Amino acid sequence: MKSDVADCGCLLDSSATEAASALPLYPLRPAQVEQFRPGSPEAGFLARMGFSAGAGQLVIGPDPETGLFAALGLGADSSPFAYGGLARGLPEGTVWRFAGPPPDPAAAIFGFAAGAYHYGKFMKETRRPVRLVLPTRVPPFVLAQIAATWMVRDLINAPANLLGPAELAEAISKIGNRFGATVSCVRGPELSERYPAIAAVGAGSARAPQAVQLAWRGSGAAEEAPLVAVCGKGVCFDSGGLDVKPSAAMLKMKKDMGGAAVALGLARLIMQADLPIRLSLRIGAVENSISGSAMRPLDVIRTRHGLAVEVGNTDAEGRLVLADLLAEAAAENPALLLDFATLTGAARSALGPDLPALFCTDDAWAERLLKAGGEVHDPLWRLPLWDGYADWLTSPIADLNTVSSKPHAGAIVAALFLRRFVAAATPWAHVDLYAWNDESRPGRPQGGEAQAMRAAFAAIARRFTAG
């Protein structure tokens, strides 16, 4: 766990030398204000400041012993993001400890660290960081989730000129090696043979596409242990291809590998928790670019599954990347097949940026994922795999088209396309996410975001861990 503390410089181990001089921080609900240290100078100060413990209300006052104290209002907010403003709201360079135990210590620590995140590769933080001393007993998963969240955000925020297919593959290898996984990369002629749709998507870029596979087994997992297969769309930049995007629509397309980043974050959590399962992770790492070798509208390409696909729009490339990955993963008969992708603008139109769309062929798994998302404040919203729209993908010259000619239900149609590459008996969940915060909010700074990762981990851990 100390390595995870080091990964997140906003947190200090409870044994750190700064702990003894850390300033007291009191998280309070409205009902606790009147009972807060009655007769003390701190209580009087809060009363003079009109502190009511509303959500996000932060008051900093004098403390006769330590010099300063702070009170944070939680209101009725039980999410980690109630603590998300602390790292920016407390005086720079200060060190704090929870003087009164928060209602949910795990949520408090995660929320503080989520709000402290800063992508500083090119522009260093000018403000000296606020740091939090960890309680003596910290749930191990909290630090792991913080480190995974920071990693996912870093990957998504990285400029596309510095994070291409090769660099994404390297990041996956680094995490795999850390946890003793086997990682392999397929590229070149072998990629064209084994993953022809991925090769077609990446054919227009000077940066060669790759298919990356990670395989791992928990220390307590037998050879026949349940297999969780995870796939991620790793389009490191999406120009739209020959059906080029308008410039405004291209501005955030470095985040089009957000599904791959979240998938890697989930794999990292599973391996670090040493769940008693087998894990396979597959990432299609490509760039959808424009050149004389790029795929064209109405090209027909073959897929690993064997289906011939007509390219209705070169900007619908993510579903082609996932098609090959899903077909291979489903052939392993996993107990759960789960994919993450920044797949459609239609999902954002339907649900907005904060609610990833969940499509699932298995009601029990859908319920597990939705319930876990609510409990850990990492929500999902289920949309239907509506069979009535399946024939919208009909092609006159191939087994199916990548897109529908109709303007409706784009997220559903994309999910139905993917379903064609998954065996009917396979429990499959598809998450269409945004992976981005358009503006900064407490605990959720502008930029890349690890949506649905904690929800998926909680559901998987609960399902496959005894007790």
Q: Which residues are catalytic?
A: 245, 319
Task: Tell me the C-alpha distance between 277 and 219, whole Å.
Answer: 9
Name the phi and psi angles at 227, rounded to 5.
-105, 125
User: Among candidates 18, 212, 201, which has minimal Cα distance to 97?
Assistant: 18
Half-sphere exposure of 443 (CA within 13 A, CB side): 18
Residues 6+ apart with CB under 8 A from 191: 198, 199, 209, 210, 211
- DSSP string of 161-229, one letter each residue: TTS-HHHHHHHHHHHHHHTT-EEEEE-HHHHHHH-HHHHHHHTTSSS--EEEEEEEE-TT--TTSPEEE
- DSSP string of 375-439, one letter each residue: HTT---EE----GGGGGGG--SSSSEESS-SSSS-HHHHHHHHHHTTS-TTS-EEEEE---EESS
Residues 6+ apart with CB under 8 A from 137: none
